[in-house]
Amino acid sequence: MCDTMVALPNVTKDGSVLFAKNSDREPNEAHIIKIIPATDYKAGSNVKCTYIEIPQVEHTYAVLLAKPFWIWGAEMGANEHGVVIGNEAVFTKVPYGKEPGLIGMDFLRLALERASDAKGALDTIVLLLEKYSQSGNCSYEHKLYYHNSYLIADRKEAWVLETVGRHWAALKIKDFYSISNALSITNNWDFVSKDLVKVAIERKWCRSKKDFSFSRSYSDYLFTHFSKGRERRECSMAFLKRNKSKINIKSMIKLLRSHGTDSSNWRPDKSLVEWSICMHKGFGPIRTSQSVGSFIAHLSQDGDTYWVTGTSAPCTGIFKPLWIDVDLPNMGPKPNNYFDQSSLWWRHEILHREVMKDYSNRISEYRNERDSLELKWIEVERRLINASKREREAFITETFQIAQDVTEDWIKKIKSSDIKKQNRFYYKFEWQGINSKAKLSL
């Protein structure tokens, strides 16, 4: 389960486009950051996606991807032209394709590699969707099938594209928008697939064209209800509305770290069914996923900068800058679903999972220091936006090294602090099993 949001130039503080997403996956499903350079291919070449091969184009653009370690595609990312995309799982009445095919994350990467603006990315996904449909297991450890929605933006405009099998609806965004794990387009689209309304009427999901709502007619009740996608979208939309004309990078960081309206009293074991934008795995079959990676795009005419945690749980992590034309800093070996102390993602899991043992008290041990570092880096990044590649590379290397050093300090500090508020026994039991599966001893 995930949340994605965008704010256009007319509602941001500096007239830029701001885009943000948390990627929610299984708790041991490590997330990786990857830059793939622009590449030329011979005519007739194929590209191997997660499950199947499709024809490759002759040229692909350079892309920055934030992705589950085992998937070819990505949950969020950007390309050299400043196109950014995030996808969401949506649950519908139309049966899901279970045979190996293109999954939502594949469409996202294909669009980034092939499109130079947001509308072109939308058209790319639609073209591939209508040709191949969408199918295949989207979970690493379990069986999970779903359809997809997308938030797509560039430096000038943004679109929401929501899909059901081969059917789809698209809406151009005016000020700001967010998507979660529920269809959001009703009857106010700009473009739709052929026979979208006709199919709903034939299957008695609505009475007539006048009565038709894409979201109401096509949504599955059970999974949509328990994912709390509508509630989380209401939360993010309300936040963006309250901060209209003041939205900046720090606003998006705050939103991605949100645990709801009463964050001051939040604790990870509080509820068996509660979902929040900053998602955390709970006990039982409902809160099954958590935020394993976070991504913010700052798109402006001066240049584009991307802020990533490279780790799970943005409420415990630290956002660091990246540029597509600058090599990634050393983040250790590519992580998988087993603990590896030399990997950035897994090393942070020690901090994250220790903090969760007494969240409200332990996060206070370093939150102010972390926030001060982020604010400092945001100020420096704006001054370096047009600096040489060498200067920007040095800055990125420095921020990642500082983040690594302070993480080590924070781990020591947290481990030496007393647990003042014990989590409920069933929550601790759940995480003992998760840690054991990852071969992580805490």
Please give the Cα distance from 177 to 7 (Å, whole number): 7
State the pLDDT at residue 265. Answer: 78
State the pLDDT at residue 221. Answer: 85
Place of tokens 């370690």: 69
Residue 258 falls within a domain, yes or no?
Answer: yes
Contact in structure between 247 and 11 (CB atoms under 8 Å): yes
Residue 435 falls within a domain, yes or no?
Answer: no
Q: Residue 46 belongs to what H/E stretch?
A: strand 46-48
State the pLDDT at residue 323. Answer: 98
State the pLDDT at residue 261. Answer: 65
Rounded to a whole number of angstroms, the distance between the first and last alpha carbons of the chain is: 26
State the pLDDT at residue 263. Answer: 65
Active site (annotated) includes residue 2: yes
Tokens describing residue 256: 């991605």
Domain extent at residue 172: 3-334
- Global confidence as pTM: 0.97
Residue 166 falls within a domain, yes or no?
Answer: yes
Contact in structure between 78 and 119 (CB atoms under 8 Å): no
Contact in structure between 110 and 68 (CB atoms under 8 Å): no
For residue 119, what is the domain's CATH number? 3.60.60.10
State the pLDDT at residue 226. Answer: 78
- DSSP letter (8 states) at residue 135: B
Residue 271 falls within a domain, yes or no?
Answer: yes
Please give the Cα distance from 88 to 69 (Å, whole number): 18
Residue 170 falls within a domain, yes or no?
Answer: yes
Tokens describing residue 135: 């199918």
**Total of domains in the chain:** 1
Q: Around Cβ 155, how many Cβ atoms within 10 Å? A: 20
State the pLDDT at residue 1. Answer: 75
Please give the Cα distance from 250 to 336 (Å, whole number): 30
The residue ranges of the chain whose pLDDT is under 50 are none
Residue 223 falls within a domain, yes or no?
Answer: yes
Residue 59 falls within a domain, yes or no?
Answer: yes
Contact in structure between 101 and 133 (CB atoms under 8 Å): yes
Residue 403 falls within a domain, yes or no?
Answer: no
State the pLDDT at residue 272. Answer: 84
Burial of 186 (0-12, 13-18, 19+ CB in 10 A): middle
Please give the Cα distance from 440 to 433 (Å, whole number): 10
